[in-house]
Amino acid sequence: MKEKLGLSKEKIAEARERAIAICAPVLDFIHEHTSVTVERATLRLLGADGADADGVPVPNLVVDSLRQNLSEGAALRYANALVVKGMTPQELNSAITAGLDISKIPLGDKTAARAKAGQLAQAYLDRIRNNRGHREKKLAEFAGKNNSPLLYLIVATGNIFEDVKQAQAAVLNGADVIAVIRTTAQSLLDYVPYGATTEGFGGTYATQENFRIMRQALDEVGEREKRYIYLTNYASGLCMPEIAAMGALERLDMMLNDSMYGILFRDINMYRTFVDQKFSRMINAYAGIIINTGEDNYLTTSDAYEKAYTVLASQFLNERFAYAAGLQAWQMGLGHAFEMDPSIPNGFLYEFAQAQMAREIFPEHPLKYMPPTKHMSGDIFKGIVMDNMFNFVSKATGQGIHLLGMLTEAIHTPFMMDRYLAVDTARYVMNNMASFGDDIEFKKDGIMVRHAHEVLDKTLEFLREVEKTGLMDAIEQGLFAEVKRPKDGGKGLEGLLAKSPEYFNPVESLLEEELGIL
Amino acid sequence: MAHIVRPYGDTLDDGKVQLSFTLPVPHGLKAQEAARIMVLGWGFSDCEIVHSARISDNFTFFVAYAKTERGVDYDAVEADRNEEEKSMSMDEVNEFIRARIGRKVVVVGACTGFDAHTVGIDAIMNMKGYNHHYGLERYSMMEAHNLGAQVPNERLLEYAVKVNADAILVSQVVTQKDTHIHNLTNLIELLEAEGLRSKFICIVGGPRISNKLAVQLGYDAGFGRGTYADDVATFIVKKLAERMER
Ligand code: B12
């Protein structure tokens, strides 16, 4: 797309340099640490699976029993148990659910255990590579059939089997991406539930079995519609990397996966989140998954006009953390949103300018554009107009992933007909003004151009301040989303560990090698 | 005498209503007729299906216009809250507290259970307030403690006891599967088990909360959409003064 705003290339480059400087000390910290969920994700990619009679997953049973030696990594002991007992992972998992404590098994031949772990990890990574290959093949087969931007719809009944019906209907309406929203409390669980689930609040549990069920349903309806349907879930909360691992194994295509969302909006400890997000992103990078970042959320606690610069600043940071984890630009669905107070005069022009700005600053990134939510009200009729102002901007500025707004946003999670109306009206608008973006130029020094320049300037100023303060201190002081989080506060800090010099993690090593991020 | 009112389209008492809904049947003439008969079954005297569309193989969306003869006796209706009673402003509340209570009023608030929506409780409590109405933290004669979101009922209660609160403010935004009902009931049960219910003025707020619901669940009052700190503050101080003067 042709640039329209005349933004300064130097300023954009400086913003990226600031982001590198801001993230560097955090990346050093990450490098020296692991967490219970990083270890559990690793175990999952060696074959640990299943749950005991109380529903405690095998990866948790193993990590809990190894708690004393966890700074060395869980992989060695798991592989040691396999070698010493001469069992397959399935056999070992059953034994563990029956009560076997692998920390009690004496450490045998370390070299053999390491080799075993390496082999298993390689086999799982091969499976992930095959999934990626399958997706690429299908995308090529159905090339040109998806909407542009990709139309993204949410299902959230709480019951995976009901979700399947809603998702298939949404695809038949025209959706390209289906996201299964997670149940209210899942991000604070320090384990991933096991098996198919039928009860959730405001969403459905993310479990590997639920992933598999939805994947199969979407493949079916995708074949019929001759369109590849992207399946999305949330690699976020206290089990970020495990969910990434499960998603990679079941061929999910997108993951909500932000570097700071858990800290700001779920009160998860910041050290823990930074460590977890890196490993989860490495898995996503290898799996060819497109991540979606959560900048839109800032605008629910802050004013969208005044704090526009925090969104752009966070995009630069998310981008930097993503590159550091091996993700490529095409995998970065950086988030932003159409969330201004509808009573602001010319609000539409500011939204348009910001969406265009994001497009020009991140030209290769798919960009995940979010609809109005906070200012949606019980007036569903006005709501559908607001949603279509947003649809217009999204198409005109070439966004990549378009989350369809719901006229009932302020009332309930979407009903069948809410989604239908959202797709139907969006397709009308987007078809009716398909080439609008290519056909217009902006007035030099007009409201839109000036606004974009101003946001970029403020972003730069803000990034300079964050660099001076340090990222963690900046979060502590409430510089992001006006939410203050103490460094040692929040949930999950007890699950963080410094790696010992003997730390062994074949999944991490293989990923680092494959992704070239050593 | 009863004052019966009916929906108004373009003529008094024409009883015109617009409806939209989905049926789990394939799109077609049969579906349309089913929709029409169904609407008539709801007591409407006339119904026109003005639009129907295929949502998927087995689901159809309808827009209908219907006519009802039924009305409501307007004079017999009681509102969720008396609108005539205007809330006091922040300054008036402070003045009221000085004159009638004579010490700072302590309130503790939180969004409880697994609910992570802070914006509503912040709008009521934080200094900045909402829509140019300052929050309770700004009231010089109040001591406001906002515990934030995802606060377990036990912790909220413990804290309220610790700071010797006059009022407990609970926010509940997520209502799917009646989670809010369970959570709100649980707090009242905890209070009663500890014999503390009468010690606090208990208030709940959120977009799907009505005063009636709140009272039913054992709270002193409930506040819904569009509430400002002024409204809650007025309720608390009046109730407190009433209790102290009794
Ligand atoms: C912002 C937002 C979020 C943000 C919250 C950020 C934050 N820190 O608060 C985030 C992104 C985190 C979020 C998450 C989720 N959300 Co949400 N969210 C919203 C949204 C868009 C706006 C809410 C808001 O801020 N309103 C503005 C405030 C000022 O209004 P208010 O809350 O009504 O408060 C006013 C009154 O109600 C009252 N009030 C409120 N509390 C109190 C308390 C007292 C004591 C008093 C007196 C008055 C009072 O006074 C306030 C001022 O007038 C709404 C949709 C909407 N437009 O309403 C969905 C919405 C509330 N969310 C919803 C859902 C389902 C979720 C999730 C469960 C989704 C998921 N599966 O992950 C999660 C919940 C996570 C959790 N553990 O709770 C649903 C709830 C459906 C339902 N009825 O159950 C909604 C309606 C969206 C939808 N249609 O699906 N959400």
Question: What pLDDT digit, counting tens, does each position of B55-95 carry?
Answer: 988 999 999 999 999 999 999 998 887 777 889 999 999 99
Which residue does chain B place closest to A173, by CA atoms? B55
* Residue from the list A168, A266, A301 with its beta carbon closest to the beta carbon of B119: A301
Domain coordinates in residue numbering, chain B: 4-72, 90-244
Taking the model in full, what pTM does it have? 0.92
pLDDT at A382: 97
Question: Does the annotation count A28 as an active-site position?
Answer: no
> Ligand 1: does its nearest atom lie under 6 Å from the Cβ of A297?
yes
Alpha-carbon span A228 to B72, nearest angstrom: 53
Which of B146, B173, B200 is the pocket-test mutation for ligand 1 (most atoms within 8 Å of CB)?
Answer: B173
For the CA of B174, the closest atom of ligand 1 is: 84
Long-range contacts of A477-480 (CB under 8 A, 24+ apart): A479/A310, A480/A260, A480/A264, A480/A298, A480/A310, A480/A314
B93 CB-near residues (< 8 Å, 6+ apart): B139, B141, B142, B230, B233, B234, B237
Question: What pLDDT digit, counting tens, does each position of B152-180 carry?
Answer: 999 999 999 999 999 999 999 998 888 89
* One-letter amino acid for residue A366 of the chain: P
> Ligand 1: does its nearest atom lie under 6 Å from the Cβ of A373?
yes
Interface contact flag, B59 A169, Cβ < 8 Å: yes
Question: What pLDDT digit, counting tens, does each position of A471-501 carry?
Answer: 999 999 999 888 889 999 999 999 999 999 9
B118 CA: distance to closest CA in chain A (Å)? 8
Q: Is B112 at the interface with chain A, CB within 8 A? A: no
* Greatest extent of chain A over all pairs of C-alpha atoms, in Å: 74
Sign of CA dihedral A273, A278, A281, A282: negative
In this structure, which topology does domain B4-72 adopt according to CATH? Defensin A-like (3.30.30)
Average pLDDT, chain B: 94
pLDDT at A200: 85
pLDDT at A202: 76
Contact assessment for residue A371 and residue A383, using Cβ atoms and an 8 Å cutoff: no
Q: Which residues of B touch A482 (CB under 8 A)?
A: none
* Residue from the list A185, A301, A374 with its beta carbon closest to the beta carbon of B114: A185
Alpha-carbon span A392 to A383, nearest angstrom: 14
Q: B56 or A196: whose pLDDT is higher?
A: A196
pLDDT at B1: 75
In this structure, which topology does domain B90-244 adopt according to CATH? Rossmann fold (3.40.50)
Question: What pLDDT digit, counting tens, does each position of A147-166 carry?
Answer: 999 999 999 888 999 999 99
SS3 A185: coil
| Distance from Cα B120 to the centre of ligand 1, integer Å | 7
pLDDT at B62: 98
Mean pLDDT over A38-63 rounds to: 97
CA A82 from chain center: how many Å?
A: 33
Per the DSSP assignment, residues forming a β-bridge with B143 are B106
A250 CA: distance to closest CA in chain B (Å)? 26
Of the candidates A163, A190, A258, A296, the residue annotated as catalytic is: A296
Q: Whose structure tokens read 């309130």?
A: B107
Q: Which residues of A touch B122 (CB under 8 A)?
A: 301
Percent of chain B exceeding pLDDT 90 equals 85
- φ/ψ of B117, rounded to 5, equals -85, 110
Q: Could you tell me the pLDDT band of residue A39, with boundaries at 50, 70 and 90?
A: very high
User: Which residue has a Cα nearest atom 25 of ligand 1?
Assistant: B119
* DSSP collapsed to 3 states, A429-469: HHHHCCCHHHHCCCCCCCHHHHHHHHHHHHHHHHHHHHHHH
Interface contact flag, B114 A188, Cβ < 8 Å: yes
* Residue from the list A169, A185, A201 with its beta carbon closest to the beta carbon of B177: A201
- pLDDT over threshold 90, residue A408: yes
| Distance from Cα B119 to the centre of ligand 1, integer Å | 7
| Distance from Cα B225 to the centre of ligand 1, integer Å | 11
pLDDT at A482: 82
SS3 A37: helix
A480 CB-near residues (< 8 Å, 6+ apart): A260, A264, A298, A310, A314, A474
Q: Could you tell me the pLDDT band of residue B221, with boundaries at 50, 70 and 90?
A: very high
Minimum mean pLDDT range among A61-65, A187-191, A210-214: A187-191
Q: Could you tell me the pLDDT band of residue A333, with boundaries at 50, 70 and 90?
A: very high
Strand ranges inside B68-192, DSSP E: 72-73, 105-111, 142-146, 167-171
Percent of chain A exceeding pLDDT 70 equals 100
ipTM: 0.89
pLDDT at B89: 95
Alpha-carbon span A448 to A5, nearest angstrom: 8
Interface contact flag, A184 B114, Cβ < 8 Å: yes
Please report the domains of chain A, with CATH numbers, ordered by start residue.
145-450 (3.20.20.440)
Q: Is B177 at the interface with chain A, CB within 8 A? A: yes
Alpha-carbon span B240 to B238, nearest angstrom: 5
Average pLDDT, chain A: 96
Q: Is B18 at the interface with chain A, CB within 8 A? A: no
pLDDT at A203: 87
pLDDT at B12: 96
* Greatest extent of chain B over all pairs of C-alpha atoms, in Å: 72
Q: Is B127 at the interface with chain A, CB within 8 A? A: no
> Ligand 1: does its nearest atom lie under 6 Å from the Cβ of A181?
yes
Question: What pLDDT digit, counting tens, does each position of A380-399 carry?
Answer: 999 999 999 999 999 999 99
Contact assessment for residue A161 and residue A216, using Cβ atoms and an 8 Å cutoff: no
Of the candidates B86, B128, B162, B212, the residue annotated as catalytic is: B128
Interface contact flag, A420 B114, Cβ < 8 Å: no
Question: What pLDDT digit, counting tens, does each position of B125-139 carry?
Answer: 998 888 889 999 999
Question: What pLDDT digit, counting tens, does each position of B225-245 carry?
Answer: 999 999 999 999 999 999 988
Apex CA B190: angle with CA B184 and CA B195, to 5°?
130
B17 CA: distance to closest CA in chain A (Å)? 15
Contact assessment for residue A346 and residue A312, using Cβ atoms and an 8 Å cutoff: no
pLDDT at A297: 87
Q: Could you tell me the pLDDT band of residue A255, with boundaries at 50, 70 and 90?
A: very high
Interface contact flag, B179 A184, Cβ < 8 Å: yes
Interface contact flag, A420 B177, Cβ < 8 Å: no
Question: Does the annotation count B128 as an active-site position?
Answer: yes
Question: What pLDDT digit, counting tens, does each position of A99-134 carry?
Answer: 999 999 999 999 999 999 999 999 999 999 999 999
